[in-house]
Amino acid sequence: MVRILIVEDEKPISDLIKMSLGDAGYECFCAYDGEQAADMIEANHFDLAILDIMLPKINGYELLEYIQPYDIPVIFLTAKSDVTDKVKGLKLGAEDYLTKPFEIVELLARVETVLRRYDKNKRFIELFDIQIDTLSRVVTKAGKPVNLTAKEYDLLLLFVNNKNIALFRSNISMKVWGEDFVGESRTVDLHVQRMRQKLGLKDKIVAVYKVGYRLEV
């Protein structure tokens, strides 16, 4: 499960973000000042951090510089809406910058985009005993090459980049086959079945009733 650290000193906002991201399938942890966040990052693994800038003890800019060696993507979520603040945050290495007040649906979309983009920037992706080389498009399982078709590979990458998220068949077909896809939903089912059979993922890529599929990690 994707682990997200929320660093926000206003508890009602922190609780709202945690509840909303939790409902979307993310595992969330909260820190209420920069010092507490730094301690948590030292002791735990996180896949993403959402930082306020105006934090007690250590501000968001300082915290971002501190956690960069841990290779954690950061989204700034702050009331500081001035362009110079946004430019500073992005130049320091933040992946995105969202200002308050904000809509939860927009935050969710940005979280998904940053996680997907961050995964894509990594050449090698490992999942269970599977390794994906995104540059050569070579997939191995327990060190042995697996012969996937182009669509099966694209399906695998789509699931890996959206772990623990239920994907609608229509969304899968659009992402893998394109907006002009005119086939039937059965086409998606057949490709998913063949891909998970080749990779031994039958118990991990599960059917979601009246929706599509979800990769459970």
Of 81, 2, 74, 5, which Cα lies nearest the Cα of 37? 5
* Domains of the chain in sequence order: 3-118 (3.40.50.2300), 122-215 (1.10.10.10)
pLDDT tens track, the chain, 217 positions: 788 999 999 999 999 999 999 988 889 999 999 999 999 988 888 889 999 999 999 998 999 988 887 778 999 988 887 888 888 888 888 888 888 888 999 999 999 888 887 765 566 788 899 999 887 889 999 999 999 999 999 999 989 888 888 889 888 888 888 766 666 668 899 999 999 999 999 999 999 998 999 999 8
Query: What span, in angstroms and rounded, lies between the C-alpha atoms of 42 and 176?
Result: 38
